[in-house]
């Protein structure tokens, strides 16, 4: 299938590892011009070189701290100068630390709300007018199945990602007539460095090994295995495509069937 995005300009946030990187690779394979970013200059350079070598796509990189809107604006200015516009925006962030619903201090909530929610709204607000003027755009927001089926000891992720899903639904209805689609891609248990870190934290809390935690989690998945990052990236890439032009305002779970709701 021709996804119709060759030459389209994509910005993928938090894209030097894990799910963000997988999405960037999938878009690049389809011929999109891809802008990547993260907080570490070395990771940006290494990832950009690797994706270009693998796909022969144009890849530009920028260093950004998503919790700092001045840094975000500098990154956006650079991407717009390089590309002249953005057709595909992938809203993605790193995950917050584990923690219970009771007891997290106010500052931690503010810190991660700024990094995971305000930053994405800011990026979208800057890039959306160009998409509407051109009559074509794709906004994808990466959340988590925890926004629909809360995960124990991950209250920051559960709550903040849920807010993004409601925002996405609201936005989708406002811009659909302008040819802009807005969708959420929600991963389940997909092997990434983030999952490794969460397994280690749970193992320490419960007196287990990370391997024991991983095995127990896989038993809860109907497919009895973890997902691969490239599987997730390909689903996101399809939602950014021309054939997906009548799909908007939805949450697509990539979770091996673990969420029990319909």
Quickly state the pLDDT bin for 261 (edges 50, 70, 90).
confident
pLDDT at 92: 98
What's the average model confidence in pLDDT over 124-139?
A: 98
Q: Summarize pLDDT for 139-186 with one digit per residue, the tens.
A: 999 999 999 999 999 999 999 999 999 999 999 999 999 999 999 999
**Number of folded domains that form the chain:** 2
On whether residue 59 sits in a domain, the answer given is yes
pLDDT at 204: 92
On whether residue 155 sits in a domain, the answer given is yes
pLDDT at 1: 86
pLDDT at 35: 98
Q: Are residues 212 and 184 in the same domain?
A: no
Q: Are residues 79 and 66 in the same domain?
A: yes
Q: Are residues 129 and 212 in the same domain?
A: no
What's the average model confidence in pLDDT over 47-61?
A: 98
Which CATH number do you get for residue 27?
3.40.50.720
* Element containing residue 18 per DSSP (H, E): helix 18-29
Q: Are residues 47 and 82 in the same domain?
A: yes
pLDDT over 70 percentage in the chain: 100
Q: Are residues 208 and 139 in the same domain?
A: no
Determine the Cα–Cα distance for residues 95 and 13; give it in Å rounded to an integer. 13
Cβ-proximal residues to 31 (8 Å cutoff; 6+ apart), any chain: 5, 6, 7, 8, 57
Neighbours of 100 (CB within 10 A): 10
Burial of 170 (0-12, 13-18, 19+ CB in 10 A): exposed
pLDDT over 90 percentage in the chain: 95
Quickly state the pLDDT bin for 262 (edges 50, 70, 90).
confident
Query: Among residues 55, 60, 56, 57, which one has the least CA distance to residue 15?
Result: 60
Q: Are residues 219 and 156 in the same domain?
A: no
Q: Which domain holds residue 167?
A: 9-188+231-252
Q: Are residues 117 and 236 in the same domain?
A: yes
């Amino acid at each position: 299938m021709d996804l119709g995005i060759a030459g389209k300009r994509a910005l993928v946030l938090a894209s030097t590892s894990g799910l963000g990187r997988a999405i960037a690779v999938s878009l690049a394979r389809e011929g999109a011009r891809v802008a990547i970013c993260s907080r570490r200059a070395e990771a940006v350079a290494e990832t950009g070189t690797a994706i270009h070598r693998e796909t022969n796509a144009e890849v530009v990189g920028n260093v950004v701290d998503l919790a700092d809107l001045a840094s975000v604006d500098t990154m956006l200015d650079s991407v717009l100068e390089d590309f002249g516009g953005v057709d595909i925006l992938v809203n993605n962030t790193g995950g917050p630390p584990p923690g219970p619903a009771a007891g997290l201090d106010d500052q931690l909530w503010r810190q991660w709300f700024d990094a995971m929610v305000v930053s994405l709204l800011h990026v979208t607000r800057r890039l959306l007018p160009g998409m509407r003027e051109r009559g074509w755009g794709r906004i994808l927001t990466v959340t988590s199945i925890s926004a629909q089926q809360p995960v124990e000891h991950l209250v920051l992720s559960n709550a903040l990602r849920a807010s993004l899903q409601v925002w996405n639904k609201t936005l989708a209805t406002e811009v659909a007539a302008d040819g802009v689609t807005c969708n959420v891609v929600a991963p389940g248990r997909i092997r990434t460095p983030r999952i490794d870190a969460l397994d280690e934290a749970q193992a320490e809390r419960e007196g287990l090994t990370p391997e024991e935690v991983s095995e127990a989690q896989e038993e809860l998945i109907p497919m009895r295995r973890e997902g691969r990052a490239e599987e997730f990236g390909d689903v996101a890439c399809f939602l950014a495509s021309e054939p997906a032009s009548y799909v908007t305002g939805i949450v697509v779970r990539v979770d091996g069937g673990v969420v029990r709701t319909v």
